[in-house]
Amino acid sequence: MTAISFEFFPPKTDEQRDGLERTVRALKPRMPEYVSMTFGAGGSTLSYTVDAVRNLHGAHGLDAAPHLSCMGGTREEIRALLDDYRALGVHRIVALRGDLPSGMASFGDFRYASDLVAFIRAETGAHFHIEVACYPEVHPQAEDAQADLVHFKRKVDAGANGAITQYFYNADGYFRFVDAARRLGVDAPIVPGVMPIANFSQLKRFSEMCGAEIPRWLSRRLGAFGDDVDAIREFSADVVAALCRQLVAGGAPGLHFYTLNRAKPTEAILERL
């Protein structure tokens, strides 16, 4: 059985908390290997992240993996956060460089995710299973594809156990990336990140920011549906489920779903699988 995991974002309002609770209850029967919890640029939602992780771990019994970013954080702050997470019983971390918050002129004590991974290992030994990010279609700020691969290898060499990719809709790009990483000496599992499609305008906005490519054929088909939400949902679930089948058949070690705190788009894909 293919391992699956889900990503959530921390709720800030009662309405968002209720929505996340409904989503977690709907997806928990799928028995995810773990669930991850994001936070905003520079830790702007960090307190919400800690609360959400506590709830996922304590109330729901899920293996909750908080995202941890080096943007804007000092060694002391990150050390204290690691201590807090260990006290909560957390054993998995998603370590990221993160985005420099608007108006912030400088980085924190760590500039790269590889530095953060090395620090976590130095501070906590083997306590945490550390996941890092990678980009089959190349990080938008990378000098080139080879440099991006080298940066990825540094994170693994620093002590990462595995990696989650940015989302994509071209399976060949993922397989070629994995092959290139293996040739470079990366042997850690590389799990594809899967983005269900519920809102085409939102997807286009996300993709412009993160550098993920929406294939022209897919963009034109989604655009042709206009505001027909039901048609978009059904078509998109078919497309993404087919992508997932191709990835699993090709040897992907798992599937990590970016849920955006909504259960139905992810459920529609899983039902097809």
At residue 256, the 3 state secondary structure works out as strand
Tell me the C-alpha to C-alpha distance, in Å, between residue 164 and each of 54, 84, 225, 258.
23, 24, 31, 11
Which residue is catalytic, options 7, 131, 137, 267? Answer: 7
**Which amino acid appears at position 132 of this protein?**
V
**Which amino acid appears at position 260 of this protein?**
L
Backbone phi, then psi, for 89, in 5-degree steps?
90, 15
7 has catalytic annotation: yes
Tokens linked to 214: 């929406």
Tell me the C-alpha to C-alpha distance, in Å, between residue 25 and each of 32, 41, 67.
12, 28, 21
**Residues 62, 90 contacting (CB under 8 angstroms):** no
Interior CA angle at 30 toward 29 and 32, to 5°?
110
User: Would strands 190-194 and 254-258 be described as parallel, antiparallel, or unpaired?
Assistant: parallel
Tell me the C-alpha to C-alpha distance, in Å, between residue 173 and each of 116, 136, 147, 181.
27, 6, 17, 12
**Residues 23, 262 contacting (CB under 8 angstroms):** yes
Which residue in the block uniquely carries the two structure tokens 């955006």? 260
Active site residues: 7
